[in-house]
Amino acid sequence: MRILTKTSLYYLLVSFVVFLLGGIGYYLILQGEIYDEVDDQLFTDKENILAFIRRTNTLPHVTSGVTETILVKEVTNATPVLESLTDTLIYSSYDEESIPYRRLTFTAYQNNRVYQYTIMKSVMDFDDLFESTVFAMGWTFLMLLVGLGAVNYSINKYTWRNFYNTLQKIKRYSLSQYGPLQLKPSNTTEFQELNSVLQAMTNKIHADYLNLKEFTENVSHEIQTPLAIVNSKLELFMQSATLTTDQAKLLEEMHHSVTRLARLNKSLILLTRIENREFKENEDVALHELLAQQTEQLQELIDMHGLQLEQSITKPVFVHMNRGLAEVLVSNLLINAIQHNQPNGIIKVALTKAKLCIQNTGEAIQNSPDNMFGRFVSGSNKSGSLGIGLALVNKICSVYSLQPSYTYQDGMHTLCINFSNKNR
């Protein structure tokens, strides 16, 4: 949920609760006031009646309307009601509803006889007043609520705009295509701080990235020459006739390691070069032809491993990328399928317009499949495997926005490369 929506919702919620409590409070106060008023009038009437009786020594003329009633009856109770104030409902046939009344009952003595007076007053009028007041108040509250909400929202939106701007920029930020972060200056202290922290951070990250990149590049390139020298000297050494068998064995092991190191170095250089996006010349590579070429070249290895190759390439597929990298991609996928296969296993190659899938039989990998595309992750402990092949595949995919995926089911590893739409 966006922070704007969130704060607005909280704001509305709090306003609603406050208005609700305020409304209830207002209602209760108003109600109290009205009862007070009615009761006052009832007591005034009582005083008036008692005063009338005292003055004239006769019962007052009894009116009997709907809105105002005075009932007098003679009672013989031993304990007469002195004074009692109650609510009651009286049915009005005109309104066809029961109307709330306030009733005051008191006792008056005249000529040694006891009379019970009941004065009733309708609270209806006050109720109407109350209703319309609540209604008006309600509307005011509602308008206030909506108005405040809108104002709050737009103010928030305005103050947070720099934040969203920064967020957008950060989202688009990419290390390999570094341009300094152009963040909009803000007069909000927090956003100013955020921007300066981000700026410092990305600058630092970028500097580190460059250092690391430079280091990898330099190291890989500088390693070439010493390797070449060691390699050549070893080869010269091997040719000497006076070697004993033990020495020869030692030499061979050294030579093997140097060769392995050289191969690893070559792959690392290639990886770095892909990362640096040095392969700029792209063309529409005929993937179907490339696959055919590569499988032909690897046929011997496939036969040697006793593997069975099943190909289903239906239509010509062209992918816009660098030819050299496309070759590396395809050959690494195929080599991976050969290398991690089981004896007499199967390799299935399927190419469609949407994706290239290479399946091979083999045991499930122990590592988590997410690590598959990392560097130096070897599925098995077979020597000769550097575990860099799929890292190359992954890197090439990321350069061309292709999506590699991996699944394992029923003893079959499936590696797919999905071609995104923009590549066609």
Cα distance between residue 276 and residue 273, in whole Å? 5
Using the rule CB under 8 A, give the single segment among 46-54, 67-75, 194-202, 376-384 that binds another protein: 376-384
Q: Does 281 bind another protein (CB under 8 A)?
A: yes
**Both structure tokens of 195:** 């921007």
Nearer to another protein, 279 or 373 (CB): 279
Instruction: Kindly give, in sequence order, each residue whose CB lies less than 8 Å from that of residue 342, ignoring residues fewer than 6 positions away.
Output: 361, 362, 363
Which is nearest to 392 in space by CA: 334, 317, 307?
334
- Per CB under 8 A, contacts with another protein among 377-416 are 382-386, 389
Least spacing, CB of residue 225 vs another protein, in Å: 5
Which is nearest to 134 in space by CA: 29, 211, 41?
29
Using CB under 8 A, which of 6, 233, 277, 353 touches another protein? 233
Q: Does 65 bind another protein (CB under 8 A)?
A: no
Least spacing, CB of residue 341 vs another protein, in Å: 10
- Contact assessment for residue 355 and residue 403, using Cβ atoms and an 8 Å cutoff: no
Q: Does 359 bind another protein (CB under 8 A)?
A: no
Cα distance between residue 140 and residue 119, in whole Å? 38
| Burial tier of 395 (Cβ tally within 10 Å: 0-12, 13-18, 19+) | buried
Nearer to another protein, 182 or 381 (CB): 381
Helices and strands (DSSP H and E) totals, the chain: 7, 11
Using CB under 8 A, which of 269, 286, 350, 377 touches another protein? 269
**Both structure tokens of 83:** 């004074």
Which is nearest to 35 in space by CA: 23, 27, 24?
27
Using CB under 8 A, which of 50, 124, 251, 292 touches another protein? 251
Dihedral-angle region of residue 98 (phi above 0 means left; psi in -120 to 50 means alpha; beta otherwise) = beta
Q: Does 235 bind another protein (CB under 8 A)?
A: yes
Per DSSP (E only), the strands in 185-274 are none
* DSSP symbol at 176: T
Q: Does 365 bind another protein (CB under 8 A)?
A: no
Q: Does 320 bind another protein (CB under 8 A)?
A: no
Q: Does 346 bind another protein (CB under 8 A)?
A: no
Using CB under 8 A, which of 116, 324, 355, 418 touches another protein? 324
Least spacing, CB of residue 324 vs another protein, in Å: 5
Nearer to another protein, 157 or 221 (CB): 221
Site for another protein, rule CB under 8 A: 221, 224-225, 227-233, 235-236, 238-239, 243, 245-246, 248-249, 251-252, 255-256, 258-259, 262-263, 266, 269-270, 273, 278-279, 281, 297-298, 300-301, 304, 322, 324, 331, 335, 338-339, 382-386, 389
